[in-house]
Structure 1
Amino acid sequence: MRFRSLLLFAALTATLAPSLSFAQEAGERRAPAQQSSAREGMLKLLPADSVTEHELTTAGGRKIAYTATAGTLDLFGQDGVQNAAIFYTAYVAKDAGPSRPITFAFNGGPGAASAFLHLGLVGPKVLDFGPDGRDGANSKLIDNKNSWLDFTDLVLIDPIGTGWSRTVKADDASNYYNVSTDAQTMAKAIALYIAHNNRANSPKYLLGESYGGFRAAKVASSLQESQGIIIAGIVMLSPLLEGQLMFNADQFALGAALEFPSLAAAEADRRKGFSESIQRDAERFALGEYLTTLAGAAPTGDAATAFYGKISNLTGIPQDVVTRNRGFLGYAFTKHSGDKSGEVMSPYDASFATPDPYPESDSDRGDDPILDGFARAYGGAFADYARNELGFKTEMTYTLLENDISRRWEWGSGRGGGSRFQASATDDIRQILASNPSFHLLIAHGYSDLVTPYGVSRYVVDHLPPSLAGNRVSLKLYRGGHMFYTTAGQRAAFTADAKTFYAEHPAGPPAD
């Protein structure tokens, strides 16, 4: 099963009443920021920054007047020649005071644009996929009463090769497709925005989803080391933290044990029997009998029957499949979970089933029902929103998800060096906690996410030295998968927890 750690996805339910009013829907615009007049290549298709005025009504009934900017940040080489432009969207509350936090957000992939977080969670608009939460063809933008603009200004950034972020020369884009350069580029873009908008004194936060969580740790380190900018906190959503624990679940006992609770949660959800107490029992089994049995010699006789039967009962995977795999489940669940035949499950939410396009095959051959299904609507929805409501009109295609970036990504130092199995953000987290006593970290996961299982993040958090973590690192869990926030109730719950996180750990004087 391919790895595309992006940001994705569960089921979006509920219909929200309209709450946004736009002060300039007739097309009135403020004067755009100055733009480079010597752009070349694809960058010629990028218009000047567009600035518009709006008003948001939150779930609590509070009205927030804010400015939206859809624009680009120019990047230059040592020779002074422009080599790239980074697209961003900023939402800044009016008259909020200099100590209001500002959050820089990005998705993962590698190769994903920020539209997922933008229209799925934090922005003033959210994409509704209908009553069943999966109708991409009839999805529509509705007002987001739970926008994070309630408690922080927002800057959503698209990495090179995604969204409308491009290099002058197409062949140069691959120079940005590696862990180090990507982090440095994102740090430079953040530093440019801060300088251009006089936000040096604002508490600064990062929000990253999936690979974006991994990216956030690297960007925070780069900001501190190369830009002299200290981050107040990071919110990691379904993050990749330790590749060696995530990508070996079908081979090594510890990886399988850390993945197991997510399989159990998905089966409980499918049977409508999920409870936190039952989930805790599954977690104890995973790190107890399951781990020690997988780590030792294969059980035989009655012991094997009982052991594999318990795994089957907890995960919904047929006992013969469990036995054949010796308890290492990997992606066996995609075709072998639940009571219904002819369905396939998504690793982005193992409780999410759709009709199997290849029922005659015993292995998964089709597109992912979430990542390649309804979630693709985020791209077209954002392009339309940016053009018609934010005033950013371009003929360039908005690239929501570029799979080629993920395939070409360089995980280690030097071309071809390292691999995703060696990817680690733990050292970055430890160093930031050690060097910045004000830094706080919130990690959020969906229970039934098999792309980035929550058990891996819990393992990392549990093994941080108490002298570093203390009360500065927290892990929150929610019903759903990799993009659990596409469900209205879980989105509201996560937003409430994030608001508490910002309020409990202010980096500076109280906001006005």
Structure 2
Amino acid sequence: MVTHPRRHAGTRKRVLNRVLLCATTLFVTSGLFVTSAMPAMALDKPHPVQKTDPDKSDDKPKMTGSAALLPADSVTHQTLTSGGKQLGYTAHAGTLTLRDDKGEPTARVFYVSYTLDGGQADKRPVSFFFNGGPGGGSAYLNLGAAGPTALTMPAGNPTDGANAKLGPNPDSWLAATDMVFIDAIGTGYSVPVKPDTADKMFYGTKADARAFAKAISLWIGANGRHASPHYLVGESYGGIRSIEVATALQQQQNMILNGIIMISPALEMKLLDAANNPLASAMLLPSLEASRLDMQHKLTPDAIEDSYRYAFGPYLTTLAAPLPASSDDARGFYAEVATRTGLDPAVVARERGTPDPQAHDVRSRNGRLFSLYDGTLSIADPFPEGIENSDSPDPVLFGFGRAYGNAFEGYAAQTLGFHTELTYDLLDLKVNSAWDYRGEGEPVASEIPQLRKLLALNPTLRVFIANGYFDLVCPFASSRWVAEHIPVGRDRIDLHVYPGGHMLYTRPASRAALSRDVKAFLTP
């Protein structure tokens, strides 16, 4: 087997790769999409209502480039059966225009909103969704988890994206909240007016939060939803984004949120650096062990609790202490880690007890190649003899996850009536590589202090965090550890863990459980 080099060099690149999300939003599109035919949708035929485009009136600046290819907004009335009830709703696919201090347009932000017909605006919650990457579009949460239409993988082959089907989502969140799915600028159908300067204007932790906060404020103003309860929903890097956007909304748009929902969140970039941070390695270990337990049909709450306590007790203590590689204690430690994770003891020893889930020799076992995004999901290893880590494909990242891009393009055109020549950019790697992670005077923005402030300044703010047991990108133990170290508002953080990986909602049972728990959270 080809072994990968130790991870002390290039750590920042490795950490950023782990947050490429889809979940994660995480899927490399490079302008290419699954070429299978668009499946028929078992949906009511939409009824067009109107098409408007306020930015094309004579007194508004004319768009150029990609921004000019976005069509007028499309509004349709549709229905969904949920919980035995028929829900009538209005779907609005359109764009919001961001402007600079001179009033000149800087970006057109694409969104899809679903609002329940007849809802009482001042009491009906409205939730704003975004994915991660950074550089990922919102199609994952829209078609994967919460929207009225869902993309479902074949029951007998969860990695078969070519035969994924679109249909009504019985687990849609529509019964509990109106929803607005927003593509980050440079992703999906959201485009900067001046691409050459977009990296400086939008592609950074702070600039991105300001743009989202303004887009949310514009939507609320245009739809008269100032009095509604307001929530943010972020996946993967969207966890960091949700904390940043909540802060920007409060400081720059005078909007105080009712709640934040995070799915498989990255909460702090520093907690993803398992190469140089023993705490990050301890957070990863329970997900590796949970994956092994599930495949052996031994996953229980007691087993998970034992794994968590071992990780933050003996395991973390051993990593933090000097440990000669040739000592008997070292060999015993590596054997314990190998037993808990199910990995080859020789691989664990080479990794010095901190297995890198991206490494091919960690993911390749018995002719199967396991996913970084779901430690129980595997495909036949195309390189069982070994290969460089950078050339080892991930079953989720390079496989079935791409189906969301093709599916959303067809859904937007056929069901939402939004026709454009633009390709839906599920994940723009140029955006990801250009991302500026700095905070205010910090080399990498720190989110936990901001979350502490949000909870303290807003005594009714509630936070819902959902993780998958088998997610090796954003491990469930990191969410628990962060929550356990919040001094104010810990009782307002709800933690939930479900069978599944980074995109836990690709499992129908977990999608249903997530929907049930979110609805309870939204209707306290």
One fold, TM greater than 0.5? yes
Q: CA–CA distance in 2 between the matches of 1:261 and 1:82?
A: 47
Q: Which residue of 1 aligns with 2:238?
A: 212
Q: Which moved more, 1:292-301 or 1:259-268?
A: 292-301
Q: Which amino acid aligns with 1:204?
A: H
Over 3 Å counting, the alpha-carbon distance change for 1:336 and 1:170 in structure 2 is: closer
Q: What residue in structure 2 maps to residue 64 of structure 1?
A: 87
Residues 1:336 and 2:362 aligned together: yes
1:448-490 CA-partner distances (Å, limit 9, x unpaired): 111111111211110110xx22421121111111111110000
Q: Which amino acid aligns with 1:42?
A: S
Change (3 A) 1:470 1:464: closer
**In structure 2, how many angstroms separate the alpha carbons of the residues matched to 1:32 and 1:311?**
60
Moved more, 100-109 or 435-444: 435-444
Cross-structure match for 2:272: 246
2:124 maps to 1:104? no
Q: What do the CA deviations read for 1:304-327 (whole angstroms, capped 9, x no partner)?
A: 333222211110111122122221
Is 1:48 aligned to residue 72 of structure 2?
Answer: yes
> CA 1:433 to 1:418, structure 2 compared with 1: closer, same or farther past 3 Å?
closer
Instruction: Write out per-residue CA displacement over residues 313-344 of structure 1, whole angstroms, 9 at most, x where no aligned residue.
Output: 11011112212222121237643358x42322
Q: Which residue is equivalent to 1:148? A: 173
Name 2:7's counterpart in structure 1: none
1:30 aligns to 2:54 (yes or no) = no
Aligned 1:259-278 pairs, distance under 5 A? 259-278=284-303
Amino acid in structure 1 at the alignment position of 2:127: T
1:478 aligns with 498
In the alignment of these two chains, the number of paired residues is 486
Distance 2:420 2:171 in 1: 29
Partner Cα distance (2:464, 2:438) in 1: 26
Aligned to 2:409: 383
Q: Is 1:314 matched up with 2:329?
A: no
Amino acid at match of 1:459: W
Opposite residue 474 of structure 2, the aligned amino acid is: T
* Aligned residues: CA RMSD: 2.1
User: Is the CA contact (8 Å cut-off) linking 1:54 and 1:65 kept in structure 2?
Assistant: yes
Aligned twin of 1:14: none
Q: What is aligned with 1:257?
A: 282
Of the three residues 432, 435, 456, the one matched with 1:434 is: 456
Quote the residue 1:509 is aligned against.
none
Amino acid at match of 1:278: A
| Residue 146 (structure 2) aligned to one of 98, 101, 122 | 122
Distance 2:508 2:449 in 1: 34
- Residues of 1 paired with 2:371 and 2:363: CA distance? 11
**Structure 1 match to 2:30:** none
Question: How far has the Cα of 1:138 moved from its partner?
Answer: 1.4
Which of 374, 377, 388 is equivalent to 1:349? 374
Residues in 2 aligned to 1:160 and 1:344: alpha-carbon distance in whole angstroms: 34
Which 10-residue stretch deviates more, 70-79 or 306-315? 306-315
Which portions of structure 1, spanning 4 or more consecutive aligned residues, are displaced by more than 4 angstroms?
18-21, 299-302
State the distance in 2 between where 1:85 and 1:44 align. 9
Partners of 2:396 and 2:349 lie apart in 1 by 29
- In 1: Cα distance, 2:42 partner to 2:253 partner: 36
Preserved contact between residue 56 and residue 63 of structure 1 (Cα < 8 Å): yes
In structure 1, C-alpha distance between the alignment counterparts of 2:292 and 2:445, rounded to whole Å: 29
Task: Provide the C-alpha distance between the structure 2 equivalents of 1:469 and 1:413, rounded to a whole number of angstroms.
Answer: 24
**What's the counterpart of residue 515 of structure 2?**
495
Other-structure match for 2:330? 304
Question: How far apart, CA to CA, are the structure 2 residues paired with 1:413 and 1:154?
Answer: 29
Instruction: Give the C-alpha shift of residue 362 in structure 1.
Output: 5.1
Q: Which residue type is aligned with residue 49 of structure 2?
A: R
Change (3 A) 1:447 1:333: farther
1:291 CA displacement: 1.2
User: What is the rounded CA distance, in whole Å, between the counterparts of 2:401 and 2:445 in structure 1?
Assistant: 26
In the alignment, is residue 464 of structure 1 matched against residue 486 of structure 2? yes
Q: Is the 2:96–2:110 Cα contact (8 Å) retained in structure 1?
A: yes
**Between 267-276 and 424-433, the greater mean CA deviation after superposition:** 267-276
Report the residue type matching 2:458 in the other structure.
N
User: Cα 1:20–1:331, aligned 2, differ >3 Å: closer, same or farther?
Assistant: closer
Matched letter for residue 319 of structure 1: P
Partners of 1:138 and 1:382 lie apart in 2 by 15
TM-superposition CA deviations, 1:356-410 (whole Å, max 9, x none) = 2333325432232102211111011001100011000111111011112111110
Distance 1:233 1:88, change over 3 A: same
Percent identity (aligned): 42
How far the C-alpha of 1:428 sits from its partner, in A, is 1.6
Deviation at 1:288, TM superposition (A): 1.5
Partner Cα distance (2:195, 2:421) in 1: 17
How far apart, CA to CA, are the structure 2 residues paired with 1:411 and 1:482? Answer: 22
- 2:24–2:132 contact (8 Å) kept in structure 1: no
Aligned to 2:459, what secondary structure does the other structure show?
coil
* Residue 5 in structure 1 maps to residue 28 in structure 2: no
Report the counterpart of residue 139 of structure 1 in structure 2.
164
Within-5 A mapping of 1:387-402: 387-402=413-428
Amino acid at match of 2:461: F
| Alpha-carbon shift at residue 77 of structure 1 (Å) | 1.6
| 2:11 match | none
- Which letter does structure 2 place at the counterpart of 1:143? P
Q: TM-score with structure 2 length normalisation?
A: 0.89
Structure 2 letter corresponding to 1:378:
Y
Q: Tell me the SS of whatever aligns to 1:142.
A: strand
Q: Contact conserved, 2:73 with 2:95, CA < 8 A, in 1?
A: yes
Contact 1:242/1:456 (8 A) holds in 2: no
Q: Shift in Å at residue 277 of structure 1?
A: 1.3
Q: Which runs of 5+ in 1 are unaligned?
A: 11-17, 505-512
Kept in 2, the 8 Å contact 1:122–1:149? The answer is yes
SS of 1:42's equivalent? helix
Is the 2:24–2:140 contact (alpha carbons within 8 Å) kept by the matching residues of 1? no
Q: Distance in 2 between matches of 1:333 and 1:313?
A: 19
> Which one is further off, 203-212 or 172-181?
172-181
Which stretch shifts more, 366-375 or 249-258? 249-258
What SS does the corresponding residue of 2:109 show, helix, strand or coil?
strand
Structure 2, unmatched stretches of 5+, are: 1-13, 26-39
Separation in 2 of the partners of 1:130 and 1:54?
26
